[in-house]
Amino acid sequence: MSSATTEPGTAVPAVYPPGAEFAAAANGGAALYDRAAEDRDAFWAEQAERLHWHRKWDRVLDWSDAPVAKWFVGGELNVAYNCVDRHVLDGHGDQVAIHWEGEPGDSRDITYRQLLDEVSQAANYLTELGLEAGDRVAIYMPMVPEAIVSMLACARLGLTHSVVFAGFSPTALRQRVDDARARLVITTDGQWRRGKSAPLKEAVDEALYAHGDVPHSVEHVLVVRRTNVEVPWTEGRDLWWHETVAQASTEHEAQPFDAEHPLFILYTSGTTGKPKGILHTSGGYLTQTSYTHHYVFDHKPGQDVYWCTADIGWVTGHSYIVYGPLSNRATQVVYEGTPNSPTEHRHFETIEKYGVTIYYTAPTLVRTFMKWGREIPDAHDLSALRLLGSVGEPINPEAWRWYREVIGGNRTPIVDTWWQTETGAIMISPLPGVTAAKPGAAMTPLPGISAQVVDDDGSGLERGRSGLLVLDQPWPSMLRGIWGDMDRFRETYWARFASEGWYFAGDGAKVDEDGALWVLGRVDDVMNVSGHRISTAEVESALVGHSGVAEAAVVGASDATTGQGIVAFVILTAEAKDTGEALIGELKAEVAREISPIAKPREIHVVPELPKTRSGKIMRRLLRDVAEGRELGDTSTLVDPKVFEAIARG
């Protein structure tokens, strides 16, 4: 790789080597890779030293019960203490932790001292409610400061939080509350959505009552006032935050917990209709989120203004809004709303207003910015930006270059970070100031991380050939299981390469001639829409829940903006009265209601039949060909190859 290389037939660089100035001041260096290669356990122990431990660990890694790892065995810490108290005690209480920007234009600056007060109040009140370490708490909230305070209060008390994205339906919330048997739900009255208040407390009530007499585990619903809408109220069960938490004492002493104490459950879509509760624990998780946030974003506490545009409902919000940045004493922007509220200038105004230096977002938003046109970012002073990040799906080289040139003023490094809900923290990414990055490639596993691209049998591949991405060594922030279903945990991630003992990520990848790793996307029945993971089975089950649908097959078809778009093929029942546009609209609404608006199909085709193999499996590969308008692939294994003529007519 050399800086002079350009893409064949063009003048654009194929590789972007680090700038000398950036490299000279970078947190990371090539030595990190050497150190990790020399002694992985010692390397991770050094990273764990970033944190405050009430009790030091006896052993770095215990892998004897694989695939369930124990990291920092015997160590004790308090995650919230590490994210808040420690910085106040170190004399940084007046530093802003959160520049909170509300969608309607209100804003709040919260210092580390104020954050400590609020987290302490919440911890005191949750204790008063009788919650004890190990209990589960569901958090169903928009991007308001109290959401972060709630997560940290749980962490402080050893309560396991389960954040449910506030865009999810009452049904989805109920499913998650039941699975984790949550004792408390924390929510808001409503949430701002493009200038309108969408009810949220009402959705909680719907979740808890909709199932008639089926008993649930929820004892209390704690409600933050945000949009001032009227809410249904159950006396004795429902509690206002401002009448309870906000009145509690600000004195609270954090107790240490075992390094393997459960920190959170986060539900993510798998290949079946039932979401998986991914379980993360404390010491290893915080070590790796802290380590990666420091090196991958080159974060300098007290100097940088960091902004991750994710929602706390996703793992990116957990690891790179809450735990990583706060453990590193970041000053960060937290924004409540959508990027075009009230206008498409919102993100750029915000970058300008706070002097954001590090900006971390998803390729789908970069492509949306491209669509809106460069005159929008060009109207703002974005010169404080010094590093850009990307996450959620592969970033196409064109979007990468536009991001760097238009948003990054042709000077900022871009870190394309590959990871998953299950990995807990970034795994594969360039190191800024060190790696010469190629647009579209996640480049190389971080120091301390080991990955391979292999064929179906687990054999290594020649460079340039694509195969399956596996992680062949345990890592500190790895999932410790699927809540309540350890068999599924072993089956989903560890069965594919059981004899090798590798974790199979579900992604295809290739390593190119220069050793750069390119993630190519999911190889299973999981779709990626705007960086959100949605299973085909979940959408299918929502569709067949409608009385008019007998059978449904769903595929992800490539989409210029969202990465993938959801395309559904349905066979109607005799009960379906209408077969036209009205029904299609109704079905789309049904999916949005059952799962979330993000799962709403882009297209629904009514067909007389679905292509199936002799064993009855729907051939999604062929449906994808249809959805993307391609020549059909091999149809020889179909029971009835003629179905496609019917589908084409349908």
Q: Which of 183, 186, 182, 132 is nearest to 157 (CA)?
A: 132
Q: Site residues (CB under 6 A) for ligand WT7? A: 268, 315-316, 391-394, 416-421, 442, 505-507, 519, 521-522, 528, 531, 533
Q: How far is the CB of 169 from ligand WT7 (least distance, A)?
A: 18
Distances (CA, A) of 490 to 103, 279, 497: 42, 13, 11
Q: Is 71 annotated as a binding residue?
A: no
Q: Is 276 annotated as a binding residue?
A: no
Q: How far is the CB of 641 from ligand WT7 (least distance, A)?
A: 32
Q: Is 367 annotated as a binding residue?
A: no
Q: Is 500 annotated as a binding residue?
A: no
Which pair of tokens denotes residue 23?
Answer: 């490299």
Q: Specify the residue, 160 or 420, whose C-beta has the smaller distance to ligand WT7.
A: 420
- For residues 402, 404, 406, 411, the Cα torsion angle rounded to the nearest 10 degrees is -150
Q: Is 522 annotated as a binding residue?
A: yes
Burial of 340-379, coded b for 16+ CB within 10 Å and e otherwise, reads ebeebbbbbebbbebbbbbbbbbbbbbbbbbeeeeebbee
Q: Specify the residue, 264 or 569, whose C-beta has the smaller distance to ligand WT7.
A: 264
Q: Specify the residue, 476 or 611, whose C-beta has the smaller distance to ligand WT7.
A: 476
Q: How far is the CB of 360 from ligand WT7 (least distance, A)?
A: 10
Q: How far is the CB of 391 from ligand WT7 (least distance, A)?
A: 5
**DSSP-based three-state secondary structure for 348:** helix
Q: Specify the residue, 86 or 161, whose C-beta has the smaller distance to ligand WT7.
A: 161
Q: Specify the residue, 244 or 390, whose C-beta has the smaller distance to ligand WT7.
A: 390
Q: Which of 292, 287, 283 is nearest to 446 (CA)?
A: 292
Where does residue 622 rank: exposed (0-12), middle (13-18), buried (19+ CB within 10 A)? buried
Cα–Cα distance measured from residue 69 to residue 41, given in angstroms and rounded to the nearest whole number:
13
Q: Is 507 annotated as a binding residue?
A: yes
Q: Specify the residue, 331 or 477, whose C-beta has the smaller distance to ligand WT7.
A: 477
Q: How far is the CB of 642 from ligand WT7 (least distance, A)?
A: 35
Q: Is 316 annotated as a binding residue?
A: yes
Backbone φ, ψ for residue 351 (5° rounding): -60, -45
Q: Is 533 annotated as a binding residue?
A: yes
Q: How far is the CB of 454 from ligand WT7 (least distance, A)?
A: 16
Where does residue 464 rank: exposed (0-12), middle (13-18), buried (19+ CB within 10 A)? exposed
Q: How far is the CB of 638 from ligand WT7 (least distance, A)?
A: 28
Q: Is 480 annotated as a binding residue?
A: no
Distances (CA, A) of 291 to 11, 323, 474, 625, 650: 37, 11, 16, 42, 53
Which pair of tokens denotes residue 587?
Answer: 């079905």
Cα–Cα distance measured from residue 389 to residue 399, given in angstroms and rounded to the nearest whole number:
12
Q: By beta-carbon distance, which residue lies closest to ligand WT7? A: 421
Helix 170-180 to helix 201-209 angle (10° resolution) is 60
Q: Specify the residue, 283 or 313, whose C-beta has the smaller distance to ligand WT7.
A: 313
Q: Which residues are annotated as a binding site for Mg(2+)?
A: 544, 546, 549
Instruction: State the binding site for CoA.
Output: 193-196, 316, 340, 530
Annotated binding site for ATP: 392-394, 416-421, 507, 522, 533
Known binding-site residues equal 193-196, 316, 340, 392-394, 416-421, 507, 522, 530, 533, 544, 546, 549
